[in-house]
Structure 1
Amino acid sequence: MTSKSPRRAAGASALVLAAALAVTGCATGAQSSTGGTAAAKTGTLVIDQAFTAQSIDPATLFQVTDSIAASGLYETLFTYIDNVAEPQPLLAKSLTANETSTEFTITLRDDATFANGSPVTAADVAFSFNRLKNLAASPAYRMEGITVTEVDPTTVKLTTENPMPYIEHTLTAPPLAVVDDETVRAAGGTDAADAAETDTAGNLFTEPGNGAGSGPYTLDSYDTNSQIVLVKNEKYWGEAAAYDRIVLRNVNNAQQQKANLEGGDSQIALDIPGRTAEGMASDTLKVQSSSSPEVLYLALSQKEGAATADPDVVKAIKAGIDYEGLRTIVGAGAVEATGIIPSMMSGALPSGKGPKSDPAAAKKILADAGKTGTEVTLDYANDYTRLAGIDYNVLAQGIQTQLNAIGLKVTLNPTPTSTSLQRYVDGDTEMALWSWPPDTADPSDVLVFAPGDLIGTRVHWPAEAAPEVAALAETARVATGEARGEAFTAWNAAMNEEAPFAYLLEPSFFLVASSSVEHVSHDPLASINLSQIR
């Protein structure tokens, strides 16, 4: 996801955004984030989505559903407006950077308040960022190499070990949302170095009306299996929330999402596949599509003893996949992946430069290596439909058929998302089918796939196993200016050759909404921002 996504052509140039010496905040603040000044509505907005929910505490938030819910509850220093992949100030008023993009001074708005009425201050920012870092949960990597200092009540300074010309993108990530430090501390929260052992504030974030966020909504209820309910924050500092209540509802079946929309039981559906969605446009329903911010891939474990740790097996799998066949299975809008960097981001390889299907060569690789008949287990989540409504059961069966045809013996291991994901996170899978929903619209987000990084570690691929690829990742991480795009392209190409991942597809995401919803669109991550719906 393993956990978090137009992927619009207009956004591509924005993705190589260099840190400007000064970024000025919008004078109208939160009102500008709606794309208009429509009057607030009343009533309930119901959104159907196939849940991947686990924690709504920003410091431990790592799943797509939680990110959607958090977009109405919490606010970040910067945000994306609609589908434009250029960060805009939200809680920040301005940002200044030094010439090397290693020191950033951020001035905060002076009118933003939390739901409990307390002002948003630099102390809250410092606490939130340090708590994220020191809790050491999955999203803590966002603070790697970053130090935050409170300069005065409305100013914070960020210092980075390496140049981060893309810092505004990083500051849009949901785990970097700002929470009220006094409220969280009172519930047992801490930003101290030992927070991973001593912080006890986790339950606060599932309590109704906890007041820890500054968004236009507050939490009414949170259930990872059924629904998450938000209610209007009557004390919101910006433009009033559009709805009295938002219900984010867990509906795993795409046909049920379709029936709910057509029957008026819901107003937005997020997981209806393209083939179905394209035929739903009418006077009462509108359909939007966005190219993908994420790549569907096979993760091939390099753990000692795993069949996929054999380089010949890895080569055979990459060549044995019929990428066009999989694209046909997925359907409308899907394109073959050219690498781990999605085509909407800087550093993406052009069409035709991705992995090549050659089943005959794959069969020969296995035969020459004496590996014909090798048994491989493919893990996948059998209830996971969040990725553009794709049925992983059908896709996994297609992969099994293709790889069996070249001489492998693939056994499917379908399990619920919670089980399948945990096995992958723990490094216990041999071959696993997943995608990476990015938190930001910048290619630095997918450096987690580099050897020795977050996802590389999950497949037991240390930096010393591919030092040249690791070096290219570090070059891309610190590159600035025009050299940055070139550095990411070089790393992406090297990952195609060396990495134990098979990059399959970039699906298209479809959003179907009632015409009564005046303003809703995918953001650059093919998700939605609840605070911007009108």
Structure 2
Amino acid sequence: MLKRAFLLSAVMLASVAGAQVKNPGTLIDVAFGDWRTFDPADCYEQSCGEVIQNVLETLYFPEGNNASKFVPLLAEGMPEVSNGGKTYTVKIRKNAKFSNGKDLTAEDVAYSIQRTLLASVDSGPAQLLIEPLLGTTDFIRKGGKVGYDQVAAAVQAKGTDTVVFNLARPFAAFIAVLATPYASIYSKADAVAAGDWSGTEKDWEKFNNPAAGTTAFARKLPLGTGPFVLERYDVNQNVVLKRNDNYWRAPAKLQRVIIQNVEDENTRIRMLEAGDADIASINRPAIPRVEKLPGVKVTESNQLTLVALFMNQKINAAGTNYLGSGKLDGKGIPANFFSDVNVRKGMAASFDYNALIKDVLLGAATQQSTVVVKGLLGYSNTLPKYKFDKNQATRYFKAAWKGELWKNGFVLPVFYNSGNNIRKSALEIIKKNVESLNPKFKVDVREIPFSQLIAQGGNSQMTMWALGWGADYADPHNFAFPFLHSDGNYPTQTGYKNAKIDALIGEAVATADTKKRNELYRQIQTLGFNDTPFIPLYQPTFPFVNRDWVKGRVNNPVYADDYYYPMSK
């Protein structure tokens, strides 16, 4: 239940006509999904990233709604690039201050980036920085080849106002990486005082790879320079941001932002209609209803996003009962159920892509059968696509596990995050079609909190689940690597590996020639399609929904989360 008493006292809802602005200084954003952590070294999802980017800041920031152009934020200007594209020298803005009034220094910048690298949290964002700076795709681990010395050499503070980044190789998207919330800057002194890493070699191993959600900043944010500060966090219910009156730029127009986790969509819509919510996350099927509400504005924006079904080839059964009997005996599944490519292809052929796009998404999406989405280098609409074909699915399932799967059947739990009705519908589609092939096939659609789905996915405990990937930055590498490289986000969770794909991804990101890169990504997509390690479903257009009294909202194709600083009511 939402803490209504707190909400009413904090917001003091006015009983005025719907056309009038309620609470001009407070913006209420209702969404679904809780917050696993507020630590930039641990957070790697939209819900926490949204909070972080409003309290902390980065050296560079996207320019308006342009996903691939950046402007200086905490940096004084664009970097000086030398050494064949491997050295970036960044001057720090002299007037930037933390919310406690203390000056930002180069030491704070170096500490923030180094801490993310050295923490290397499983399922965290460290790989975004590790790859260009250290030339590897491996997380840093105690006793490994890469440790403190390499990190200290890669990120160096020079005096109080200069930071030097020494890349392992040229990486064209490096500025874009520095503009993500996962490269946010915060106070070294505050982090050390909170009991985190000292910033020296002596104790970095103590803070390496902490369990997800257990760092000093799991429930609070580090001291930042951003336009807001975290005033209150009601676990899994509300995040309350208060204007930072010590902000180094002009103060935010809003005095307060309240982000609420409201899983029931009808409740979100009623709040929007009454003016008790200013911004609302609304699933596609409800958009026609919302568009009819007076005073509500819906703006469509193409998103660099891919929604998919993931299939775990090495399920970790510890702590769950997802495997049932653990055998192909009609009462469960074995841990390596999806390691047979025929199972994966059978699932892909069982999905009705047109039904999802037409009936659930109301046409506001395109089917995506490869990893590079429209709008990125390497995208092609001539590559093969998975098709809904029950006869083909039957052939695959009959061939799976040498006929044992078809003979004995299975019970398979599949998962979506609470409140996401589109992903629920997608799983219900595959349930209906798979079960129609053989009465011994059972698919159990289950919902769990977003934080639990992410945590269990990171521990390889998931079986099959629906999830979306939004671009960290506008480059095909940010899709090819996390989806298909054996060290990427999803293959590490699902046990997928293809050495040829790994090599091609490495070659493509290091290639400057656009034509050659385009051909390499075509090869990568074709190999990935044939392996079917996951089932790409669709690339959506994203509906930004808010009351028409909300001004200054920016719809960025990469960042569907909100940046509240320019907003007003």
Tell me which interval the TM-score lies in, with the shorter structure as reference length: 0.7 to 0.9
Match of 2:301 in 1: 290
Superposition pairs for residues 138-287 of structure 1, below 5 Å? 138-145=124-131, 146=133, 147-190=154-197, 191-192=199-200, 194-195=203-204, 197-198=206-207, 202-203=215-216, 206-207=219-220, 212-277=223-288, 279-280=290-291, 284-287=295-298
Which residues of 2 match residues 96-115 of structure 1 at below 5 A? 96-98=80-82, 100-115=84-99
Question: Who is 1:88 aligned against?
Answer: 71
Q: Give the structure 2 partner of residue 70 of structure 1.
A: 52
Name which of structure 1's ranges 494-503 and 298-307 shifts more when overlaid on structure 2. 298-307
In structure 1, which of residues 91, 115, 119 is the aligned counterpart of residue 103 of structure 2?
119
Find 2:37's aligned residue among 55, 58, 65.
55
Indicate yes or no: 2:476 matched with 1:443: yes
Query: Does the CA contact (< 8 Å) of 1:73 and 1:215 recur in 2?
Result: yes
Deviates more, 1:236-245 or 1:524-533: 524-533
Deviation at 1:503, TM superposition (A): 0.8
Aligned residues: 485
Call closer, same or farther: CA 1:97–1:358 in 2, change over 3 Å: farther
1:82 offset after TM fit, Å?
A: 3.2
Q: Is the 1:61–1:175 contact (alpha carbons within 8 Å) kept by the matching residues of 2?
A: yes
CA distance 1:305–1:256, shift in 2 (3 Å): closer
The one-letter code of the counterpart of 1:416 is I
Aligned-pair CA distance for 1:185: 1.6
Match of residue 392 from structure 1: 423
Segments of 5+ residues of structure 1 without an aligned counterpart are 1-40
Alpha-carbon spacing, 1:416–1:477, altered in 2? closer, same or farther (3 Å):
same
Q: 2:358 aligns with which of 309, 312, 328?
A: 328
Partner of 1:470: 502
Amino acid at match of 1:187: A
Q: Residue 296 of structure 1 contacts residue 435 of structure 1 at CA under 8 Å; is this kept in 2?
A: yes
**Aligned partner of residue 80 in structure 1, secondary structure:** strand
| 1:388-431 deviation line (CA, Å, top 9, x unaligned) | xx443332111111223344724225141233333222112332
Q: Deviations over 1:30-75 (max 9, x none)?
A: xxxxxxxxxxx96111111112311112121223211111121011
3-state SS, counterpart of residue 531 of structure 1: coil
Which residue identity is paired with 1:253?
Answer: D
Question: RCO (CA 8 Å, sep 6+): is it higher in 1 or 2?
Answer: 1
Once residues 240 and 320 of structure 1 are traced to their aligned partners in structure 2, the CA distance between those partners, rounded to angstroms, is 53
Cα shift at 1:249: 0.9
Contact 1:54 1:63 (C-alpha < 8 Å) held by counterparts: no
Shift in Å at residue 382 of structure 1?
Answer: 5.0
The 1:378–1:471 alpha-carbon spacing in structure 2 relative to 1, beyond 3 Å, is farther
- Alignment-mate amino acid for residue 158 of structure 2: V
Alpha-carbon distance between aligned partners in 1 of 2:388 and 2:547, rounded to the nearest angstrom: 41
Are the equivalent residues in 1 in contact too, given 2:54–2:227 (CA < 8 A)?
Answer: yes
- Aligned position for 2:416: 381
Check whether the contact 1:322–1:357 (CA below 8 A) recurs between aligned residues. yes
- Asked if the contact 1:286–1:513 (Cα under 8 Å) also holds between the matched residues in 2, the reply is yes
* Cα distance in 1, alignment partners of residues 356 and 418 from structure 2: 19
Q: Is the 8 A contact 1:450 1:470 kept in 2?
A: yes
The answer (yes or no) to whether the contact 1:283–1:515 under 8 Å persists in 2 is: no
The aligned amino acid for 2:506 is: E
Q: 1:128 Cα deviation (Å)?
A: 0.0
**Distance in 2, Cα, partners of 1:115 & 1:511:** 30
**Quick one: structure 1 residues 375 and 243, their matched pair in 2 at CA, closer, same or farther if it must change by over 3 Å?**
same
Q: TM-score, normalised by structure 1?
A: 0.84
CA distance in 2, matches of 1:195, 1:67: 24
TM-score when normalising by structure 2: 0.79
- Asked if the contact 2:96/2:248 (under 8 Å) is kept, the reply is yes
1:531 is aligned to: 565
CA RMSD of the aligned region, Å?
Answer: 2.5
Q: CA deviation at 1:247?
A: 0.5
**What stretches of structure 2 of length at least 5 have no aligned partner?**
1-22, 134-153, 315-333
Q: Secondary structure at the match of 2:169?
A: coil
Alpha-carbon distance in structure 1 between the residues aligned to 2:414 and 2:83: 47
Contact 1:81 1:523 in 2 (8 A): no
Asked if structure 1 preserves the Cα contact closer than 8 Å seen for 2:34 and 2:237, the reply is no
Distance 1:402 1:102, change over 3 A: farther
Correspondences of 1:476-495 after superposition (within 5 Å): 476-482=508-514, 483-495=516-528
Query: Partner of 2:436 in structure 1?
Result: 405
Task: Name the SS of the counterpart of 2:252 in structure 1.
Answer: coil
Bigger shift: residues 427-436 or 277-286: 277-286
* Distance apart, 1:337 and its partner CA: 1.1
Distance 1:183 1:247, change over 3 A: same
C-alpha distance in structure 2 between counterparts of 1:455 and 1:449, whole Å: 6
Partner SS state of residue 372, structure 1: helix
State whether residues 376 and 431 of structure 1, in contact with CA within 8 Å, keep that contact through their aligned partners in structure 2.
no
Whether the aligned pair in 1 keeps the contact of 2:265 and 2:419 (CA below 8 Å) is no
Helix, strand or coil: the match of 1:189? Answer: coil
Counterpart among 362, 376, 396 of residue 393 in structure 2: 362
Once the 2 structures are TM-superposed, how far is the Cα of residue 474 of structure 1 from its aligned partner? Answer: 1.0
Deviates more, 1:496-505 or 1:429-438: 429-438
Query: 2:50 is paired with a residue of what secondary structure?
Result: helix
The answer as to whether partners of 2:104 and 2:187 remain within 8 angstroms in 1 is yes
Answer whether contact 1:75 1:213 (CA < 8 A) is retained.
yes
* Cα deviation, residue 211, structure 1: 7.2
Please give the per-residue CA displacement for 1:8-31, whole angstroms capped at 9, x wherever unaligned. xxxxxxxxxxxxxxxxxxxxxxxx
Change (3 A) 1:132 1:218: same
1:342 aligns with 2:342: no
SS at match of 2:66: coil
Question: Could you report, residue by residue, the CA deviation over 1:356-404 in whole angstroms, capped at 9, with x for unpaired residues?
Answer: 333222212333452425425242135142xxxx443332111111223
User: Are the equivalent residues in 2 in contact too, given 1:68–1:530 (CA < 8 A)?
Assistant: no
Moved more, 394-403 or 283-292: 283-292
Alignment partners' CA distance in 1, 2:452 and 2:93: 43
Q: Distance in 2 between matches of 1:413 and 1:281?
A: 32
- For the residue of structure 2 that corresponds to 1:350, the secondary structure is coil
